[in-house]
Amino acid sequence: MATQPKMIPFGEWLPDLPDYANPGAILAKNCIPRAKSYQQLNSLASFTTALTSAALGAIWLQDTSNIVYNFAGDAQDLYRLDSGTTWTNVSKSLHAYTSTNWEFAKFGNNVLAVDYSDPMQSYVVGSSSAFADQSGSPYNAKRIAVVRDFVVLGDLQAYGPDVIGWSGYNNAAIWTPSRATQSDRQQLFGKGGRVQRIVPGEVGTIFQEHSIWAMEYTGPPLIFQLDEVEVGRGTPAPNSVCWLGATRFYYSHDGFYEFTLPGPSQPIGNSRVDTWITQNSDDASRMLMRGAVDRRNRLVMWAFPSSSSLAYNDRVIIYNWAVNRWSYGELNTELLMEYVSSGLSLDQLDTPFPSGIDAQSINVDSDAYKGGSLGFAAFGTDHKTATFAGSPLTASIDTMEYDVGDGSRVYCDQVTPIVDGTPSTTITVQVGKRNLPNGNVNFDPARAVDSIGNANVRANSRYQRYRVNISGGFSHAQGVRAAVSPAGGNR
C-alpha cells in the first residue's frame, strides 16, 4: 500500500502525561508556545557592563518627571544604570553589603532596598549620589512592598519570620507603632510560616510558605485588615511570585498556580508540567526559582537551576497565559526581570560600541537602546544585563506518538516539517521508534530536509514520533506531514 501523507500537529506540551496516547507535544525545547504553534527562543545579548558578582535583584522606575532609572544589587554592592549601558556602584559610603537577595520598592521618588542583613537602604532619584540607611530605624527585613500609602516589610529580623510591619502614613521614616502615624506591626498567626513575598497594590497580597493573606487598608484604629484567604497553599520559592495587574503567578509545593483575590488559587501546571519540573530539578534548586512577567509577549518565565549545586539557573520554563500553553528552554541566567530602557542618542552609542555599531551582534534598534521602551531582560552568568535578542537557540519539538491503532507496524518514508522560517533556517528531522509501550524510544540520526522541504527517512516500528530540530530562527512551527502506512505484521 502506498504511503499517505498525514498531518501531525505539534500540540500542547504535556510532558507529565504518558508518552503513549499523549495528545500533545512530548518535547518542546528552546521555543515559545503560541496558540497553534511554537516560536523561536533567542539567546541573550548583553548590552551593559558587568556587576561585580551575580545579580540578586533589580528594579526599574520612573520619577515624577518621567525619567527612567534602573537599579540592581549583588552580594556586596548596589548599582545604578547610567547612560543606558554602565552599571555604576552607588552603595552606601564605605560599606560592603552581605546580601543573598535584594528586594526593591519605589516609594515616591525614593528607591528602597532590603536584604535582611543590612538596614533598609534609600536612594532619592534625581538628588542622591549613593544609597544610605533609611532614617527612622526601619526593621531589617527580607520582604518589601508598597501597599496603598505605606511601606510594608515582612520577615522581620528582630520580631520573627511570620511578622510584618508597616511605616507611617505616606512616610518611610516612621516605624514606631502609633495610632497617630498609623505605623504598626502584626504577626500572622497560624501555620503559614515565613513571609515569602508581599505583592504591592491597593490591597496587598502576602505569600507565606503555607498560606496567602489579603492586606486591606481600613484606617484607625485597625489600620489594616488582614484576612487569611487561602490556607495550606503558599510558596517555598519566594522569588517565584510575580504578578500582572490583579493576577499573581507562583510556584507552590505541588506545582504552578495563578491567584487573584479573593482566591482560591487555580492550578496552571497540573497534569502538564508540575511533574516535569520535579524530575528536572531537586527540592533545594526549586527554592531558588526566579520568575518574571513579560507583559508585551503575554509570557511568564521561571528560571531555575537543574541542580542546587549550580551557581546559576540553567533552565527556564515558559507559560503563555493568553493561550494557556507551556514550553521550556536551556538558557543560563542569574535572574529575569522586566526592563524599561533609559534610551541613548547616536552619539551616546559610541560608549557601548567603541568599535562602531556595525561590529555589534546586538541590533542597535533593540529595545535596550530605545528610551522608555518596555522589554524583558535577564542577567547572564557574565553578570551583564541582556535582552532576548541574541541568535535563535536550536529548538527541538516532538509530535505526539503515532500508531496505526490495530497493533500493526508503521512504515514512514518521508517527513515534511511545517515550519515558517527564513533563508537562514536549518531544519532536520529524527524519527523516534519503539515497538512496546514500555520500551525505550530510539531516535534515528538527524536527516536534513531537501530543497522542497522533505526529509527522506526509512522507519518501521509499531510506534513513531517525529522530532524536528530548527536552528537559525523561525516564526511558527506547526507540526509535520508524515508519509505513513501500515507496514503489515505486529512484531
Report the pLDDT value the prediction gives residue 66, as an integer from 0 to 100.
86
Note whether 441 and 307 are same-domain residues: no
Short-list 373, 377, 366, CA closest to 68: 373
Residues 89, 176 within the same domain: yes
For residue 233, is pLDDT > 70?
yes
| Spatial CA neighbour of 10 closest among 471, 435, 470, 485 | 470
pLDDT in tens, 376-417: 999 999 999 999 999 999 999 999 999 988 888 999 999 999
Report the alpha-carbon distance of residue 78 to residue 319 in Å, rounded.
31
Q: Per residue in 426-484, pLDDT tens?
A: 999 999 999 998 899 999 999 999 999 999 999 999 999 999 999 999 999 999 999 99
Domain edge (last residue) among 384, 417, 432: 384
Domain ranges, residue 312: 45-384
Q: What is the pLDDT of residues 112-145, one digit of tens each?
A: 999 999 999 999 999 999 999 999 999 999 999 9
- Decide if pLDDT at 74 tops 50: yes
Q: How many domains does the chain have?
A: 2
H or E segment and range at residue 377: strand 374-379
Q: Which of 328, 356, 384 is the last residue of a domain?
A: 384
pLDDT of 406 reads 82
In a domain, 244, yes or no: yes
Flag whether pLDDT at 355 surpasses 80: no
My answer on whether 406 and 373 are in the same domain is no
Last residue of a domain, one of 334, 355, 384: 384
**In the predicted structure, residue 489 carries a pLDDT above the cut 50:** yes
Q: Is 365 exposed, middle or buried (0-12, 13-18, 19+ CB in 10 A)?
A: exposed
Q: What predicted TM-score, i.e. pTM, was given to this entire model?
A: 0.91
The DSSP annotation for 132-172 comes to: EEPTT-PPPEEEEEEETTEEEEEEETTTEEEEEEE-BTTBT
Residue 375 included in any domain: yes
Quick check: 289 and 252 in contact, CB under 8 A? no
Indicate if 372 and 256 belong to the same structural domain: yes
377-396 CB burial, b ≥16 within 10 A, e <16: bbbbbebbbbbbbbebbbbb
* Domain presence at residue 491: no
